[in-house]
Amino acid sequence: KQEVTQIPAALSVPEGENLVLNCSFTDSAIYNLQWFRQDPGKGLTSLLLIQSSQREQTSGRLNASLDKSSGRSTLYIAASQPGDSATYLCAVRPSGGSNYKLTFGKGTLLTVNP
């Protein structure tokens, strides 16, 4: 059974700092990995998707990397802003069987202080 762990559970940084969020998964047989952002009481917004054959994806100040063999992904946020404050979730999609079911981590709660 796939398990996804996100470390740290919470992170507080001053504005302007670069930061890294970590995601690890136990089964490396994945189809893709997706990073989401969730604001309090709201739904999920997709940030980046990395296919299993890719090593990284970039969008603006965000960069996500994937090391499938070691079961790890990181989300790098450059020059953080107070508006980046949210919970960040990673989710993996398995490569076989029921490959439409995402398994999520519990998320990292990020607070960027002005």
Q: What is the 3-state secondary structure (H, E, C) of 54-66?
A: CCEEEECCEEEEE
CB-based contacts of 102, cutoff 8 Å, min separation 6: 34, 91, 92, 93
For other proteins, the binding residues (CB under 8 A) are: 4, 31-32, 34, 36, 41-46, 49, 51-53, 89, 91, 93, 98, 100-107
> In this complex, which beta carbon is closest to other proteins, that of residue 14 or of residue 96?
96
> In this complex, which beta carbon is closest to other proteins, that of residue 18 or of residue 26?
26
Least distance from other proteins to the Cβ atom of residue 94, Å: 11
> In this complex, which beta carbon is closest to other proteins, that of residue 54 or of residue 63?
54
Element (H, E) at 95: none
